[in-house]
Amino acid sequence: MPPLSMDMYLPALPEVTDALHSPAATVQLTLTACLLGMALGQLVVGPMSDKWGRRRPLLTGMVIYVIATAVCALAPTAGLLIGFRLVQGLAGAAGIVIARAMVRDLYDGVAMARFFSTLMLVSGVAPVVAPLIGGQVMRVTDWRGVFVVLTVIGVLLTLVVWRRLDETLPPGRRHAGGLGEALRTMGSLLSDRVFTGYMLAGGFAFAALFAYISASPFVVQDIYGASPQTFSLLFGVNSVGLVLVGQINGKLLIGRVSLDKALAVGLAVITLASVALLLMASGVFGEAGLAPIAAGLFVLMSAMGLAMPNTNAQALMRSRDAAGSASALLGTSTFLLGAVASPLVGIAGEHTAVPMAVVQLVCALAAVGCFVGLCRPWQRADEESAPAGTVSRP
């Protein structure tokens, strides 16, 4: 849902500005509103799915998503578009948080980590495909056509969920309480040092990735003079690297190497790549061209295939009986940290890649600090050697 809702719309931004007679800064709020909705919506939908099961909140969210997207296609003003983009994000959050919770319902231990690596296929390919679809839609229609296509996709996904996706949370494992119990459950999760460590480690790693996504068009095209086609090619290659490493993690490493060791390698590579990018961007090795910068970004993004699925799996293994609330905290923290990192990459102007590299390095070091200081994997070696199917925390 996030790449479809966010990235498909990117090629249409200039036309929206002209069509609605609004300044670019106002139109940019349509992206911010959707991102904010997806971040905050998870905090609502996650606990709801722990109380009522997964299917009902997911179907409700998908129906609201379809309606809000259709209204966006008809929006006559920027204000109305911003408002319903917020609703679209809030409803679309159901797909994000409940998908992760359902994985926790169905899998445990190594099997869960392996399935999260499989999901990296979607996570890696969708951000590349979505802008391409949006660009092709813009060739035959206007910006409203993008939302029409999103509406059709939403209807199809809703039908698939309704017909093919079974309930994964049996009544006996649901929570009967309301908002108060949901808040207590989230408080209990956040008081778990290890869960919080994995949540923050994954969130900061994603923030480093989001810094790349936000800054790379400017860095690759404006600073290093690449064409839009070259930028698209490099972005696609980096996404392929993320997918391939994610599959190596799921098919080869998991079951042979502990999740914490694979995660440690991923975080170490991200940190080293960030250091290399900072040294090259600051001119320590002389004038760096596009090729070494692109290589550093490729290594950084590929290593996310080790970091993201393993942080999700390790965190969710701490919360079998509150997977919806745990998934909500994981998703919200990830989105919010990414949203904070995004504007920082341009803080020193438009003529250097140093801010991007600095933000990436700070985020990488924060992720390592949370992993080492809070997760303390060396103290939990016995948990890693436990048979698959056991639960580390009821």
Note the pLDDT of residue 213: 75
Look over the chain and give the mean of its residue pLDDT values, rounded to a whole number: 86
Q: What is the average pLDDT across 281-300?
A: 87
Both tokens assigned to 202: 């994954």
Three-class SS of residue 26? helix
Query: How far, in Å, CA of 389 to CA of 370, rounded?
Result: 26
User: Mind listing the pLDDT tens digit for each residue in 209-222?
Assistant: 888 877 777 778 77
Higher pLDDT, 177 or 385: 177
Over pLDDT 70: what percentage of the chain?
91
What confidence tens digit (pLDDT) does each residue in 135-146 have? 788 888 889 999
CB atoms within 10 A of CB 147: 27
Are the C-beta atoms of residues 197 and 310 closer than 8 Å to each other? no
- Angle made by CA atoms 329, 125, 199, in degrees to the nearest 5: 20
- 110-115 mean pLDDT: 86
pLDDT tens digits along 25-59: 788 788 778 888 988 999 999 999 998 999 999 99
Residues 95, 1: contact at Cβ < 8 Å? yes
- Predicted pLDDT at 384: 46
Q: Quick check: 171 pLDDT over 80?
A: yes
Q: What is the pLDDT of residues 248-272, one digit of tens each?
A: 998 888 888 899 999 999 999 999 9
- For residue 231, give both structure tokens: 């930028």
Q: List domains and CATH numbers for the chain.
A: 1-167 (1.20.1250.20), 178-377 (1.20.1250.20)
User: What's the pLDDT tens digit per position in 342-377?
Assistant: 777 766 555 778 888 999 999 999 999 999 999 988
Comparing C-alpha atoms, which of 313, 318, 260, 255 is closest to residue 116? 313
On the question of pLDDT at 392 being above 50, the answer is no
**By mean pLDDT, which of 155-159, 204-208, 225-229, 379-383 is the weakest?**
379-383
CA distance linking residue 233 with residue 239, whole number of Å: 10
Q: For position 364, what pLDDT does the model report?
A: 97
pLDDT at 387: 44
Residue-level pLDDT at 300: 95
Q: What is the DSSP string of 33-68?
A: HHHHHHHHHHHHHHHHHHHH-SHHHHHHHHHHHHHH
CA–CA dist 166, 220 (Å, integer): 44
